[in-house]
Structure formats: structure tokens, C-alpha cells
Amino acid sequence: MSIRGINHVTLVVRDMDRTVRLLVQALGAREEYRSREREYSKYPETFLRIGDLWLVVMEDADTRRARSYDHIALSIDLEAIPEVTRHLIDAGAEVVPSRPRIDAESASVYFYDFDNHLFELHAGDIAQRLRHYAAAKQGA
């Protein structure tokens, strides 16, 4: 197959500066580019890097998004969760309780940005989860 991975994720928000500040202050995102007008895209935009992720934040003051469980999950080291959670709260994000988890899933912290985009910072990976599911199936 020719798909190699996610190229970028784009979020449309009402206040680009506020959302960019949240992602920079709380998650350590690096700003790579900011359009000053609608030169190349549908809306003014900022390109951020969070780890290997290229995240685009576009501004449309009229956008409205209902809450859902659709989310972007970012990998995080388990020991970094308490500090990052404090940064999220300090930056004004709404940190919400995680769903009940089994130990094999590791830990997560969930938060909404100012436009109801849900993010998950997750310390586990697919390999450990699949190992647990396979072991549980054999034990059933």
C-alpha cells in the first residue's frame, strides 16, 4: 500500500492565537510558519510541530464544533503526564477524566481545546495493547 502515515492534521478554530498559545505552552509545540493573510489557504493558518506531527491551526471566527469522542491521540512518556497536565490547566485547557482503563492500556490524559477538539495524551502503544488482548483471548 502507498499510504505511509499521517501527513498532517488540521484544526479549524475561532481564535488561532489562543489555540497556538495553548499548544506551545502546554505541549511544547514549535511554531514553524504563520500566514499573515489568506495567501495560500482557505483561512489564515499556523503550522506547528509537536514531536513528528505537523499540526495546522486555521482560523475561522464563525466555526462551531460539537463535542464528541473523536480525538487526536499523541504519544507521551508516562512520567511526563503530571507535569503536562499542570501545563494544560495553567494554559486554560479543560482537562477531563479518563475513561476506566486496564493496566495494559497504560495511562492517558484527555483535554478539550477552546473549540471542542478532544486530545488524548497516551503513554501506551498498540503493541502492548494487542499483546494483552491476545493473552486474554488465550486465557478465555
Active-site positions read: 45
Closest by Cα among 20, 81, 79, 75 to 53: 75
Cβ-contact 97, 108 below 8 angstroms: no
Q: Are 15 and 31 in contact (CB under 8 A)?
A: no
CA distance 126 to 129: 5
